[in-house]
Amino acid sequence: MQQPVPRRMLIEAVVASTIGTTIEWYDFFLYITAAALVFPKLYFPDLDPFWGTILSFSTSTVGFLARPIGGVIFGYMGDRVGRKSALVSTLLLMGISTLAIGFLPTYADIGVLAPILLTALRFLQGLGVGGEWGGAVLMALEYSHTGKRGFYASWPQAGVPLGLLSSTLVMAVCQQYLSAADFLAWGWRVPFYLSGLLIAVGLLIRMRILETPLFAALKANNEIAEAPVSETIKGHWRELLLIAGTRITENASFYLFTAYAVTYGKDVLKVQDGLILRAVSIAAVVEFATIPFFGWLSDRWSRRHAYLAGCVFLIVFALPYYFFLDTRDPTLIILATVLGLAGGHALLYSVQASLIPELFGTRLRCSGASIGYQLAVPLAGGVAPLIAVSLVELFPDHYWPLAAYIVFNSLISLTCVLGLAETSRKDISQS
């Protein structure tokens, strides 16, 4: 068993992972917010609102389809070249594609080529974020491998609500202080331009961090896997499928509580502009605190028990969530959003950072964690807004089908997590 690393090195690694994750998810969420607010009008202007929204979210779904591919590519890089190399590469890819969206002409400028290019850039975003997660959580997990792994590994997960908060806040500020015409004409591009500055900051931070001690030891002993992806699929296919099933409710619910909630508030509830974005922003602040708390809890309790509790919470909370939204009362809408994100989602998401990578040895950990984590994305978060829009179209006067969708997903995840091993006491320093 390897010795613990100095505390300063551990903190630096965790901070670098968290800041980089915040920046990458800022980019990814920024697109989703724009897909709800402006892309239907700018890139699909000749369609009625329903089909414009469907196609706008469909371009967003392309990013989710790309994420498993990114998981394979950068998981392989992480296991063959190193965790740090994978992290730097994903940050560059994500930043360049996001910045390019800010300069992209609209349908009025170049016709049908505009949505095609938009979709292509979203695909590149998906590749980047697909490889980001595995490297980021492994950087924190493998530096803290001798203790409190659940707590330290959960910090990169806390970068997700920070990315969500920063993207929604920047977009909300632009929307609030610009006229509707100016926001639609050029104001929505400003948050995308800011990505260039953030990427430069992220690269400076990540380049300072050394390779994780577990991978460095593996490389020194010449024990690196020759074909980590194929070895992972052949030897751990059962774990990969169970991980994917375990993730379904967390991933789908997150995008229902954030991206689709913006559309639901605008088109169905018709609440005041900015209310849902404000609710999501408040929830993101609270979730930044609850994610590491639940990670700490999984160290003291157990990974599986904490995850089961999150699934049960979402099953019980699904109907009250939409009941609160349907009141159109700002206080209850904010309360529902906070409970959904900082409660149910945070409990599940925090535990994943340790539960999933701990299932694999060091040789295959980046490939196994990345592939398993991203495998569920196209069938969960990728289609959740599309399914939600369709359910509202089929049942315009009822919100119970949306709640039933969350319950269905939660039952799948609850069943799958029961099939995974408990890993909180496992020695992960073995190859």
Q: Residue 426 domain-assigned?
A: no
How many Cα atoms occupy the beta-carbon half-sphere of 421 within 13 Å?
A: 12
- The pTM of this model reads 0.85
pLDDT attached to residue 43: 85
What average pLDDT does the segment 212-241 reach?
91
Q: How far apart are CA 353 and CA 134, in angstroms?
A: 9
Q: Residue 2 domain-assigned?
A: no
pLDDT attached to residue 145: 64
What average pLDDT does the segment 30-48 reach?
80
- Give whole-number Cα distances, 260 to 23, 398, 402, in Å: 22, 16, 11
pLDDT attached to residue 243: 96
Percent of the chain with pLDDT over 70: 97
Is residue 125 predicted with pLDDT exceeding 90? Answer: no
pLDDT band at 154 (very low <50, low <70, confident <90, very high): very high
Tokens of 409: 């997903």
Q: What does the pLDDT look like over 162-175, one tens digit per residue?
A: 888 888 888 888 88
Of 128-142, 219-233, 308-322, give the range with the top mean pLDDT: 308-322
CATH code assigned at 142: 1.20.1250.20
Of 84-88, 253-257, 315-319, give the range with the top mean pLDDT: 315-319
Is residue 18 predicted with pLDDT exceeding 70? Answer: yes
pLDDT attached to residue 33: 80
Q: How far apart are CA 335 and CA 369, in angstroms?
A: 33
pLDDT attached to residue 328: 93
Is residue 53 predicted with pLDDT exceeding 80? Answer: no
> How many other C-beta atoms can be found within 10 angstroms of the C-beta atom of residue 419?
14
Domain with 398 in it: 7-417
Overall domain count for the chain:
1
Q: How far apart are CA 30 and CA 20, in angstroms?
A: 15
Q: Residue 369 domain-assigned?
A: yes
- Is residue 143 within 8 Å of residue 134, measured between CB atoms? no
Q: Residue 68 domain-assigned?
A: yes
pLDDT attached to residue 215: 86
Q: Residue 47 domain-assigned?
A: yes
H helices of 178-220, where? 180-185, 190-207, 213-220
What sign results for the dihedral spanned by CA atoms 167, 169, 170, 176?
positive
pLDDT band at 37 (very low <50, low <70, confident <90, very high): confident
pLDDT attached to residue 210: 79
- Is residue 282 within 8 Å of residue 290, measured between CB atoms? no
For residue 125, the surrounding DSSP H or E stretch is helix 113-143
What average pLDDT does the segment 234-252 reach?
95
pLDDT attached to residue 256: 93
Q: How far apart are CA 327 and CA 121, in angstroms?
A: 38
pLDDT band at 431 (very low <50, low <70, confident <90, very high): low
pLDDT band at 4 (very low <50, low <70, confident <90, very high): low
Is residue 245 predicted with pLDDT exceeding 90? Answer: yes
Q: What does the pLDDT look like over 266-304, one tens digit per residue?
A: 888 888 867 888 898 899 999 999 999 999 999 988 999
Q: Residue 241 domain-assigned?
A: yes
How many Cα atoms occupy the beta-carbon half-sphere of 11 within 13 Å?
A: 3
Q: Residue 358 domain-assigned?
A: yes
- Is residue 22 within 8 Å of residue 162, measured between CB atoms? yes
Q: Residue 423 domain-assigned?
A: no
pLDDT attached to residue 290: 96
Q: How far apart are CA 52 and CA 58, in angstroms?
A: 10
pLDDT attached to residue 205: 78
Q: How far apart are CA 373 and CA 240, in angstroms?
A: 8
